[in-house]
Amino acid sequence: MTQTLITNIAYGLTGDAAGSRFSGALRIKDGIITAIGALTPEAEDSIVDAAGCVVTPGLVNTHHHLFQSVLKAVPEGMNAPLDLWLKHVPYTYWPLIDTEILRTSAQIGLTELILSGATTVCDHHYVFCDRYDYDPAQVLFDTAAEFGLRFVLARGGMTKGRPFDDPGIPLPPLETLDQFLTQTARAADRWHQTGPTAMTKLAVAPTTPTFNVLASELPLIASFARDKGLRLHAHLSENKTYVDYTQSLYGLRPVPWLAQQDWLGPDVWFAHLVECTPDELRLLAETGTGMAHCPQANARLGSGIAPAVALAAAGGCVSLAVDGAGANEAADMGAALYRDFALHRSQNGPEACTAETVLHWASESGARMLGFENLGRIAVGQQADLCLFDLGHPRNMGLHDPALAPVITGAATVKHSFVAGNRLVVDGQIPGLDLMDLGERARSAVAMLKAKRAQCAT
């Protein structure tokens, strides 16, 4: 039995929808929160002092692309809108990423996320191809396990490529539908866990329904996922191009079109959903279909601000996502929390979105969207995934309500964090991680990608 007592909690946020707070102490036994309040230390307790910290649930990132952590600030995509960015960044560089580059990229991304509060990460990896001599799923699950965080692989893929008007763009990484379903089933059999203590999960996640699979394949994919007890995920309505393309082919906007394909429901969540009408939002809310809200990447690419506030007001499900670092160089949870808080207020007024609401989206709501039980909220009986955010930095000085610091100061910094009661961050460091070595490997990976790209261009 392991037992930890977190003491001197002055600023605690539970992560629930009401924005509830707590103080005092918190005890963890065997990965579960067993008591909160005025607690007396026991002989078995390992003591962690929360003085000078804000205590929250561990943060849940519901949509990421870890392979893009070595594709930050690619010049051709730096000032490009989404469609050009896709062409010049992920669809140009994906064939050049070998197993070591992917491993390094995943380590960079997970380090960013963990040190800014993430304890659960969903990675939407959509590059699977027989031209690779390695299995990306294996690399990603292994890397996540080395860190000790909860990990969901949204196993992507495509049976048809998105057309680009440039013969220099590599051919897309295609699979047949049978290959996609067979490999997804094998990954699920190996890594998908159920129950309240699950550490790894798998979702069925074709890249984009509108562009990357045939309409006739969508109901088959949905049926496959539900037969396996897996959730469905994809990109959707990230910009107007998605809407125009879907309407031109099928005569419907994306959300009602997917309703016809059995692709809405409480077991489905979509990344982005920037371009949604009020009727589409009502349909999403009525069916329990979730939004992985990516405020930073949508802003960075000029795509717009997703109507997350409107979806939540309609009773819909909203979570927070960082998205890939190739379109979002500050790929950490602290930056995402603040952008979410600020962008909706800039668009809809200061009462549109509270700091407590943003934290709820980034914790309990996100955990529920990914299918994790007893996760994302600080309460007795819940899994002990927790973050202690350091208030000692100058940006946090002078706050009249320090409890809001992780959301409103724009750069959440973790002092300690836990996953199922196990230490993830200790005194601001990830145990066993050599940041200098990771930095050297990151520079080497970028240099190698540049050299490979130059060779391909000649």
**If you write DSSP's letter for every residue of 365-417 in order, what string do you get?**
IHHHHTT-SS-SS-STTSB--EEEEE--SGGGTT-SSGGGHHHHSS---EEEE
Under a CB-based contact definition with an 8 Å cutoff, are residues 139 and 128 in contact? no
CA distance 380 to 28: 9
Strands 386-390 and 53-57: antiparallel
Q: What DSSP letter does each residue of 103-153 carry, written as one string?
A: HHHHHHHHHHHHTTTEEEEEEEE----TT-SS-HHHHHHHHHHHHT-EEEE
Sequence-distant (≥ 6) Cβ neighbours of residue 245 within 8 angstroms: 210, 211
Residue 60 one-letter amino acid: V
The last residue of one of the domains, among 330, 351, 369, is 369
Rounded to a whole number of angstroms, the distance between the first and last alpha carbons of the chain is 61
Query: Does 259 lie in the same domain as 359?
Result: yes
Query: Does 404 lie in the same domain as 290?
Result: no
Query: Does 64 lie in the same domain as 36?
Result: no
Query: Does 93 lie in the same domain as 40?
Result: no
Query: Does 90 lie in the same domain as 45?
Result: no
Under a CB-based contact definition with an 8 Å cutoff, are residues 277 and 306 in contact? no
* Number of domains the chain is built from: 2
Cα distances (Å, whole numbers) of residue 382 to 200, 303, 417: 17, 37, 15
Q: Counting beta carbons within 10 angstroms of the beta carbon of residue 17, is it exposed (0 to 12), middle (13 to 18) or buried (19 or more)? A: middle
CA distance 358 to 338: 9
Domain that holds residue 289: 59-369
We report the CATH number of the domain holding residue 380 as 2.30.40.10
Residue 107 one-letter amino acid: Q
Query: Does 401 lie in the same domain as 262?
Result: no
Q: Is residue 437 part of a domain?
A: no
Residues paired with residue 269 on neighbouring β-strands, in sequence order: 233, 290
Closest CA to 370 of 315, 290, 274: 290
We report the CATH number of the domain holding residue 75 as 3.20.20.140
Runs of H (alpha helix) within 233-378 = 240-250, 254-259, 278-287, 295-300, 308-313, 333-348, 355-360, 366-369
Under a CB-based contact definition with an 8 Å cutoff, are residues 360 and 378 in contact? no
Q: Is residue 446 part of a domain?
A: no
Q: Render the burial of 410-430: b for 16+ CB within 10 Å, e for the rest.
A: bbbbbbbbbbbbebbbeeeeb
Query: Does 108 lie in the same domain as 81?
Result: yes
CA distance 451 to 458: 11
CA distance 317 to 255: 15
Q: Is residue 216 part of a domain?
A: yes
Query: Does 274 lie in the same domain as 402?
Result: no
Take residue 399 and report the two structure tokens written for it: 């706050």
Query: Does 289 lie in the same domain as 396?
Result: no
Interaxial angle between packed helices 177-191 and 136-147, expressed in degrees from 0 to 180 and rounded to the nearest 10: 20
**pLDDT in the model for residue 1:** 63
Under a CB-based contact definition with an 8 Å cutoff, are residues 67 and 128 in contact? no
Closest CA to 124 of 260, 274, 231: 231
Long-range contacts of 286-290 (CB under 8 A, 24+ apart): 287/259, 288/316, 288/317, 289/264, 289/265, 289/316, 289/317, 290/62, 290/266, 290/316, 290/317, 290/318, 290/319, 290/369
Q: Is residue 439 part of a domain?
A: no
Residue 161 one-letter amino acid: G
Q: What is the pLDDT along the chain (458 residues), one digit of tens a residue?
A: 689 999 999 999 999 999 999 999 999 999 999 999 999 999 999 999 999 999 999 999 999 999 999 999 999 999 999 999 999 999 999 999 999 999 999 999 999 999 999 999 999 999 998 889 999 999 999 999 999 999 999 999 999 988 777 878 888 899 999 999 999 999 999 999 999 999 999 999 999 999 999 999 999 999 999 999 999 999 999 999 999 999 999 999 999 999 999 999 999 999 999 999 999 999 999 999 999 999 999 999 999 999 999 999 999 999 999 999 999 998 999 999 999 999 999 999 999 999 999 999 999 999 999 999 899 999 999 999 999 999 999 999 999 999 999 999 988 899 999 999 999 999 999 999 999 999 999 999 999 999 999 988 77
Query: Does 95 lie in the same domain as 192?
Result: yes
Query: Does 166 lie in the same domain as 142?
Result: yes
Q: Is residue 130 part of a domain?
A: yes
Query: Does 285 lie in the same domain as 365?
Result: yes
Q: Is residue 440 part of a domain?
A: no
CA distance 341 to 194: 33
> What residue has token string 């965080």?
149
